[in-house]
Structure 1
Amino acid sequence: MIIDVHGHWGPWFFSTHVADAAANLRVMDRCGIDVQLVSAVEAVVYDPLTGNPALVPVLRAAGPRLRGLLVVDPRDLSLAARQLDELLPTGLFVGAKIHTHYAGSPGGSAAMADALALLASRDLPVLVHTWGDELVGLADVVARVDGVRVVAAHLGGPAWQLTPSAAERTDRLWFEPCWSTPAAGRIRWVLDRVGPQRLMFGSDSTLIHPAVTLGAVRAAGLSAAEEELVMWRNATEVFRL
């Protein structure tokens, strides 16, 4: 079983041909991924107003292998609240997604704290893009927001060695390791310091092919117990799948 907690649907502004959800499912089949949590690219990089609703018919057509992440822009929480009210009752969305850079809202910002408080009030977990030392800032915010469940995407990218420091600040922060240029030994190093209960698989598909992160995870030499936690069980519990 593999659950991918970091996927996307829709066309990118790069020179890639991945707009159709059939591309998600085709790559999932090739990589042995059973379920992928996806956000709409349009909502991430342009506007949640149009992007989030556009994902609804896609999820209905794709069936249970694709589950939705509703994109929240911390700069417009009134829109986020309306869309949560409108779209969560569909049963198609299992979490939220916040991209700190596109939304201009760093992990440690007051805007992020307000967004996480809104999501905690809906008991909705959230995948948050992290890059650099904002990983630690996000952890501090998570520690202050009661009840919120957050997955830090990319392990902070080049700041991945800050993961243990972030993990120490709160037990409601999990980590996801996808990165297009990962350092050798990174996942094993993190696992040995934060434990397999805090890590879950994500690919950043369709922006990055899942084989990149799958290869990095396989190279970490996970035990059977570690693999079960990282590849699906942690995701099942955090996102209540």
Structure 2
Amino acid sequence: MLIDVHAHWGPWFFSMDVASIDVNIDGMDRFGIDLQLVSSIEGIVYDAPAGNRSLAEQLPADPRLRGMLVVDPRRLDAARADLDELLAGDGRSRWVGAKIHSEYSRTPISSPAMQAAVELTTEYGLPTLVHTWGDTVVDLADVAARVQGARVLAGHMGASGWPRVPEAAERSDRIWFEPCWSAPEANRIRWVLDQIGSDRLMFGTDATLIDPSVALGAFEAAELSEVEREAIMHRNAEALFGV
């Protein structure tokens, strides 16, 4: 079983042809991805409500797709409306989490606006994937510690801030880590595993921006035990997202 907890759908502003949902489906087919948790690029970089509704139309294309509802901390009234509408009825089975991008939303993770956004997603029972980079992985742990019941997943595991993951893990037991990165440094996954164990690490790819082979190769280089592999590749995600 392989669950990708960090993927996207739609056109990027880079020079690459990945707009079609067929690109997601092809990647899942090629690499044996059983479930892919997807957020809308339009929602992340431009208009969260429009992007969420566009993605809602794409999710039925393949039963392996699950939605991550984009929340813009600057537009929490609109986010609440999205949550009310898209999670209604059988939508709750399709939308399994929320996504917040701290940089594109120009909202520091340490800010009151970010905490309010996590409070909102927590109110609706959604685990929340948050873009972290550098020291912000620790800031996210502090948010998780302050928001009762919050469950947050640090996208990119802080990227260049990965050496601070053990500190983040100590600050809250309600933060998990997903290490996809376009320029990964050698041995970081093995080092983090040796520090915090495998219970809070998950597999993610950043598709369709990055080919899934990059993340798969990074985990292969970590020489996972069978227990570690099962936890990281699917069991932790199953528990957190209820998939």
Would you say same fold, with TM above 0.5?
yes
Q: Secondary structure at the match of 2:68?
A: strand
**What residue in structure 2 maps to residue 23 of structure 1?**
23
Q: Secondary structure at the match of 2:130?
A: strand
1:2 equivalent to 2:20? Answer no
Q: Secondary structure at the match of 2:97?
A: strand
Offset, 1:60: 1.6
**What residue in structure 2 maps to residue 187 of structure 1?**
189
Q: What is the root-mean-square deviation in Å for CA atoms of aligned residues?
A: 0.7
1:200 equivalent to 2:209? Answer no
Return the letter of the residue paired with 1:67.
Answer: R
Q: Secondary structure at the match of 1:128?
A: strand
**What residue in structure 2 maps to residue 81 of structure 1?**
80
Decide whether the 8 Å contact of 1:9 with 1:21 is kept in 2. Answer: yes
Once the two structures are superposed, residues 137-167 of structure 1 have per-residue CA deviations (whole angstroms, 9 ceiling, x without a partner) of: 1111110000011000001111110000000
Once the two structures are superposed, residues 159-187 of structure 1 have per-residue CA deviations (whole angstroms, 9 ceiling, x without a partner) of: 11000000000010000000011001010
Return the letter of the residue paired with 2:177.
Answer: F
1:66 equivalent to 2:36? Answer no
**What residue in structure 2 maps to residue 128 of structure 1?**
130
Counterparts of residues 27-176 of structure 1 (less than 5 Å): 27-63=27-63, 65-89=64-88, 90-91=91-92, 92-176=94-178
Q: Which structure 1 residue ranges, 4+ long, deviate > 3 Å from structure 2?
A: none
1:220 equivalent to 2:234? Answer no
Offset, 1:106: 1.6
Structure 1 residue runs of 5 or longer lacking an equivalent are none
Offset, 1:222: 0.5
Offset, 1:28: 1.2
Q: Residues of 2 paired with 1:70 and 1:104: CA distance? A: 18
Structure 2 residue runs of 5 or longer lacking an equivalent are none
